[in-house]
């Protein structure tokens, strides 16, 4: 559909040399990549069906505001991503311990939203609980990630790969 951004795998294919693609796919998880691509194709098909349904509606009838708001994220995919992020964070923690660095500083470069998502179900498994304690003036769903900066990106693939090995 016009206006759609490329999938992450499309970006990987665009920026990674062809001979290295199978290794990158293996590192990321072949099943996860394939499932993600299938899910993306399904979303695109559902969007086109929605647009088709909208165009056939009567002019005065109510329209849905955003096609993507109708689609719930796949629980399986969310769990797979959450598990991979936890493994990355655990690997960073272990690397910091091995190098004698502060374990909490190993996470400083990551987005608070990413950390909140990854740690949602397993807050007890990680050190530095004082970083993640609730603020008295915030609802329980909000955590204080003020020491964490925004930057989870593909340049950390070596760390993920090292942990997965």
35 and 2 in one domain?
yes
Last residue of a domain, one of 44, 71, 98: 71
Same domain for 115 and 142, yes or no, is yes
Q: How many domains does the structure of the chain reveal?
A: 2
At residue 53, does pLDDT exceed 50?
Answer: yes
Over pLDDT 90: what percentage of the chain?
Answer: 10
State whether 139 and 99 are in the same domain.
yes
Q: Tell me which residue range forms the domain holding 156.
A: 73-165
Q: What is the pLDDT of residue 19?
A: 93
Question: Which whole-number Å values give the CA distances from 118 to 16, 56, 89, 164, in the listed order?
Answer: 27, 42, 9, 17
Nearest 5°: the CA angle 127, 130, 132 is: 85
Instruction: Please check whether residues 24 and 105 belong to one and the same domain.
Output: no
Same-domain pairing of 81 and 150: yes
Q: Are residues 53 and 13 in the same domain?
A: yes
| Tokens 């609980």, residue located | 129
Distance CA 112, CA 147 (A): 9
Q: Tell whether 79 and 54 lie within a shared domain.
A: no
Task: Please say if the pLDDT value at position 67 is more than 60.
Answer: no
Q: Note whether 109 and 137 are same-domain residues.
A: yes
Q: How confident is the model at residue 92 (pLDDT cuts 50, 70, 90)?
A: confident
| Tokens (6 digits) for 39 | 């899910």
Q: What is the pTM of this model?
A: 0.33
Which position has the higher pLDDT, 127 or 45?
45
Residue that finishes a domain, picked among 45, 71, 97 = 71
113 & 160 share domain: yes
Same domain, 2 and 46: yes
- Residue 154 CA to residue 150 CA, distance in Å, equals 13
Shared domain for 84 and 162, answered yes or no, is yes
Whether residues 86 and 126 share a domain: the answer is: yes
């Amino acid at each position: 559909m016009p206006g759609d951004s490329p999938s992450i795998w499309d970006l990987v294919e665009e920026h990674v040399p062809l001979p290295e693609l199978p290794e990158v796919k293996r590192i990321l998880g072949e099943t996860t990549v394939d499932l993600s691509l299938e899910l993306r194709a399904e979303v695109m098909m559902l969007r086109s069906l929605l647009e088709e349904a909208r165009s056939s509606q009567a002019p005065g009838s109510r329209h849905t505001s955003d096609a993507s708001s109708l689609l719930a994220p796949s629980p399986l995919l969310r769990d797979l991503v959450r598990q991979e992020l936890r493994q990355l964070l655990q690997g960073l923690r272990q690397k910091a311990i091995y190098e004698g660095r502060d374990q909490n500083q190993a996470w400083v470069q990551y987005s608070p939203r990413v950390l909140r998502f990854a740690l949602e179900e397993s807050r007890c498994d990680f050190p530095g609980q004082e970083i993640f304690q609730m603020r008295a003036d915030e609802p329980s769903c909000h955590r204080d990630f003020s020491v964490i900066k925004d930057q989870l990106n593909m340049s950390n693939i070596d760390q993920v790969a090292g942990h997965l090995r």
